[in-house]
């Protein structure tokens, strides 16, 4: 089994949705587009792992069929979809960016592209500020203002990702590193490891005697820069990755260094200024040398955790079993994909005490 077979149902479904949106943008056959949308809706709510199913099993799913099942296996086995790659190649990068903006669908983007020749978010914002969109069919003053607000938010948040949106990709990268370099030590680091709500990149620390060059010979990581043990790359999905390379005997020290938030690290070093933390193979040894209990990555944001650790009063992190119920749920009564009964039965099966 390759690491690609760890693709989630959501990732597979999102790929077909992406393909459908690009095809709609290029005015392709509505029947084919509809079949990919159906695949998206089917896979995102399918109860079994789609990546583990054979082509025959996939084809037997209602609404999937032979063509979709073949494409699904191609995606799982290679990490790519040739049909999607074809449309990506003939779609300008700026247009692909516009497709990422919520509420700005393929039809509107197509009209902007073919009409005034707008191809980037920046050009579209400029057109909004010049009041040019209201001249186009289907675009009024209210629509123009709505697009302008969404564009400003999009441009402001560029290079930032919600943890929930980057987590699966980060896991895929870590599994890839572990597969390509099985004898190396590897872990997530930075804001990602601290599970911050918003992160800017996927960070990892890799402790290995060998060079990291083999990681960039496959399809997943595209090397952009290498300098003084720091490797910067992009995943095949465009997520930025930074890998800090060290020797295995330094792994603990480097993992601690590259996980801590600046405020936490500053306070920690000030508190332990006469202690040498270099050359430690296990991160727990850093805290042991400092005379402190181990502080979980999620708490390494500022001095508060250090104060609690010094008093031996660190709280326990919340774990899934602490969650007793769900207070926000969407069913088929609104925009959900499951009925109220299905939601209630599933919540009960998961051990929850209530569903709100």
Q: Is the pLDDT of residue 110 over 90?
A: yes
Q: Helix or strand or coil: residue 130?
A: coil
pLDDT in tens, 54-102: 999 999 998 898 999 999 999 999 988 999 999 999 999 899 999 988 8
pLDDT in tens, 206-247: 999 999 999 998 889 999 999 999 999 999 888 999 999 999
Q: How far is CA 301 from the centre of its chain?
A: 22
pTM of whole model > 0.75? Answer: no
CATH of domain 93-156: 1.10.150.20
Using N-to-C axis directions, what is the helix angle for 65-78 and 9-25, rounded to 10°?
A: 110
Q: Where is pLDDT greater, at 141 or 333?
A: 141
- Span 243-256, average pLDDT: 98
Nearest Cα to Cα of residue 208 among 187, 235, 230, 181 = 181
CATH of domain 3-89: 1.10.150.110
CATH homologous superfamily, domain 163-310: Beta Polymerase, domain 2 (3.30.460.10)
pLDDT band at 182 (very low <50, low <70, confident <90, very high): very high
- Span 277-306, average pLDDT: 96
pLDDT in tens, 315-332: 999 988 899 999 888 888
Integer Cα distance of 101 and 181 in angstroms: 37
Cβ(105)–Cβ(147) under 8 Å?
A: no
Q: Where is pLDDT greater, at 171 or 335?
A: 171
Domain ranges of the chain: 3-89, 93-156, 163-310, 321-355
Domains 3-89 and 93-156 equal at CATH topology level: yes
Integer Cα distance of 148 and 142 in angstroms: 10
Q: Residues with Cβ < 8 Å from 55, sequence gap 6 or more?
A: 69, 70, 72, 73
Using N-to-C axis directions, what is the helix angle for 30-44 and 65-78, rounded to 10°?
A: 60
Residue 12 is predicted with a pLDDT of 94
Residue 2 is predicted with a pLDDT of 41
Residue 131 is predicted with a pLDDT of 87
Mean pLDDT (the chain, rounded): 91
Which spans in the chain are helix H?
9-25, 30-44, 55-59, 65-78, 82-89, 93-98, 106-114, 121-129, 141-156, 163-180, 190-193, 251-259, 262-271, 283-290, 303-310, 340-349
- Span 171-186, average pLDDT: 96
Q: Name the range with the highest mean pLDDT among 5-9, 44-48, 288-292.
A: 288-292
Exposure string of 95-104, with b = 16+ CB inside 10 Å and e = fewer, is bbbbbebeeb
- Span 190-204, average pLDDT: 95
Cβ(172)–Cβ(222) under 8 Å?
A: no
pLDDT in tens, 9-32: 999 999 999 999 999 999 999 999
Cβ(225)–Cβ(178) under 8 Å?
A: no
pLDDT band at 312 (very low <50, low <70, confident <90, very high): very high
Degrees to nearest 5, angle at CA 176 with 301 and 55:
125
Cβ burial of 171 (10 Å; 0-12, 13-18, 19+) is middle
User: Which of the residue ranges 262-276, 322-336, 338-352 would you say has the lowest mean pLDDT?
Assistant: 322-336
Tell me the C-alpha to C-alpha distance, in Å, between residue 319 and each of 99, 130, 259, 323, 324.
36, 51, 21, 7, 11
Integer Cα distance of 180 and 189 in angstroms: 19
Q: How far is CA 66 from the centre of its chain?
A: 30
Residue 260 is predicted with a pLDDT of 97
């Amino acid at each position: 089994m390759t690491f690609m077979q760890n693709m989630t149902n959501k990732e597979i479904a999102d790929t077909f949705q992406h393909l459908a949106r690009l095809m709609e943008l290029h005015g392709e056959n509505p029947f084919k587009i509809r079949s990919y949308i159906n695949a998206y809706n089917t896979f995102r709510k399918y109860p079994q792992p789609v990546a583990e199913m054979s082509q025959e099993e996939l084809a037997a799913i209602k609404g999937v069929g032979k063509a979709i099942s073949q494409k699904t296996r191609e995606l799982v086995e290679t990490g790519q979809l040739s049909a999607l790659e074809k449309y990506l190649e003939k779609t300008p990068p700026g247009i692909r960016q516009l497709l990422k903006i919520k509420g700005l669908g393929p039809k509107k983007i197509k009209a902007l592209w073919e009409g005034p020749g707008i191809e980037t978010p920046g050009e579209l914002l400029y057109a909004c500020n010049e009041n040019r969109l209201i001249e186009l069919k289907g675009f009024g003053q209210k629509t123009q203002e709505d697009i302008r607000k969404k564009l400003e938010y999009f441009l402001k948040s560029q290079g930032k990702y919600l943890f929930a949106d980057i987590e699966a990709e980060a896991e895929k990268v870590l599994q890839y590193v572990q597969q390509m370099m099985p004898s190396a030590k590897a872990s997530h680091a930075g804001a990602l490891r601290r599970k911050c709500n918003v992160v800017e990149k996927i960070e990892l620390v890799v402790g290995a005697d060998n060079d990291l060059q083999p990681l960039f010979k496959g399809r997943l990581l595209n090397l952009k820069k290498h300098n003084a043990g720091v490797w910067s790359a992009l995943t095949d999905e465009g997520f930025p990755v930074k890998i800090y390379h060290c020797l295995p005997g330094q792994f603990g020290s480097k993992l601690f260094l590259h996980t801590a938030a600046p405020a936490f690290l500053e306070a920690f070093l000030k508190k332990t200024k006469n202690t040498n933390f270099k050359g430690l193979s296990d991160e727990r040894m850093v805290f042991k040398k400092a005379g402190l209990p181990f502080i979980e990555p999620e708490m390494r944001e500022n001095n508060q955790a250090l104060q609690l650790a010094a008093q031996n009063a660190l709280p326990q992190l919340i774990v899934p079993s602490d969650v007793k119920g769900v207070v926000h749920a969407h069913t088929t009564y609104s925009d959900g994909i499951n009925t109220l009964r299905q939601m209630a039965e599933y919540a009960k099966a998961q051990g929850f005490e209530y569903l709100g």
